[in-house]
Chain A
Amino acid sequence: MNWFKYSSPAAFYPLAGKMAPWFLAAGAALGAIGLYIGFFAAPTDFQQGDSYRIIFIHVPAAWMSMLIYVVMAFWAGIGLAFNTRLSSMMAHALAPTGALMTFLALWTGSLWGKPTWGTWWVWDARLTSELILLFLYIGYLSLAAAIDDPRKADKASAVLALVGVINVPIIYYSVQWWNTLHQGASVSITRSPSMAAIMLWGMLVMVFAFWSYCIGAVLLRLRHIIRERERHAAWAGAAGG
């Protein structure tokens, strides 16, 4: 099988259409299982009470916000280096979902911070670098939207995405490099290993749910971008599925 075949928008368009519903359905199913574990199987935390249940959306959203940025910068970079149109379109399709995940990480973190730290917001390294990530997504989207020529917009926004990727390791290691209010990368927040296990499982299932949903959403948005960009091409006028 020739995988380079799918580097053409015309070839990838129907494949994305076939895959997207499966990813969205898997995301919904995993989300239902994850929420059941999170709210009914996992016990109340002995330190944080039930406020810790925010973890089941906070951690997946925060992980996705960083992962999507790296994937976005990767495809933007491939588009810049090899002038492949589909790579740049993929980067544009990833950005809005990445921005949404970043906002959700900040929002749920704020609502978790108030009961546990006593403050909605603090300018510590983890929170500030995550806020910068949101600004990078917004900057990327604004720059891409501000330039009329799509090929020039691809190149300019790709440079921004690649420069901004330095922020991702800063977010990830911020809790080690600086003395932050945000806790370290630990998932063992409970007294006994068995309870930590069920909480961890709930969180991991939610991570896969978010992952699956994001792939489905990005594929649908990619199809929309392909339709917009390729509407003058002969195949796009005739493509059904």
Chain B
Amino acid sequence: MQWNSAAEFFAMGGYGLYVWGAYAVTAVLVAVEAVTLVRRECAARSSRAQPEGKGRPR
């Protein structure tokens, strides 16, 4: 472990802006894609399950 404190970790040896700038944009864009896809999937599954009422239709 090379970090002595949380502040040192976030500073990244002076490269904090570059390292966290890269990771933040990656995290946000991947999260947006993942959440969009999962929500669309959940909406499709529930809208198909409802009209028939119970369980998987024939």
A-side residues, CB < 8 A to B, are 17, 20, 24, 39-40, 43-44, 49-51, 53-54, 57-58, 61, 96-97, 100, 103-104, 107-108, 111-112, 114-115, 213, 217, 220-221, 223-224, 227, 238-241
Q: Are A97 and B33 in contact (CB under 8 A)?
A: yes
Contact with A54, one of B13, B22, B34, B56 (Cβ below 8 angstroms): B22
By DSSP majority rule, is chain A's interface helix, strand, loop, or mixed? helix
Inter-chain contacts of B58 with A (CB < 8 A): 238
Question: With A240-B48, A240-B49 given, is the CB distance from A107 to B25 under 8 Å?
Answer: yes
Question: With A224-B40, A240-B57 given, is the CB distance from A53 to B30 under 8 Å?
Answer: no
Complex: A124 Cα to B53 Cα, angstroms: 60
Q: Are A241 and B56 in contact (CB under 8 A)?
A: yes
Q: Are A112 and B18 in contact (CB under 8 A)?
A: yes
Q: Are B13 and A44 in contact (CB under 8 A)?
A: yes
Complex: A217 Cα to B58 Cα, angstroms: 28
Q: Are A111 and B41 in contact (CB under 8 A)?
A: no
Within 8 A of A (CB), among B10-40: 12-15, 18-19, 21-23, 25-26, 29-30, 33-34, 37-38, 40
Q: Are B18 and A51 in contact (CB under 8 A)?
A: yes
B-side residues, CB < 8 A to A, are 1-3, 9, 12-15, 18-19, 21-23, 25-26, 29-30, 33-34, 37-38, 40-41, 44-45, 48-49, 55-58
Complex: A168 Cα to B19 Cα, angstroms: 27
Query: Could you list 17 A-B pairs, sorted by A, with CB under 8 Å?
Result: A49-B14, A49-B15, A51-B18, A53-B12, A57-B23, A97-B33, A100-B29, A104-B30, A107-B26, A108-B25, A111-B22, A112-B22, A217-B33, A223-B44, A224-B40, A227-B44, A241-B56
Complex: A7 Cα to B23 Cα, angstroms: 38
Q: Are B2 and A54 in contact (CB under 8 A)?
A: no
How distant is A232 from chain B, measured CB to nearest CB, in Å?
Answer: 15
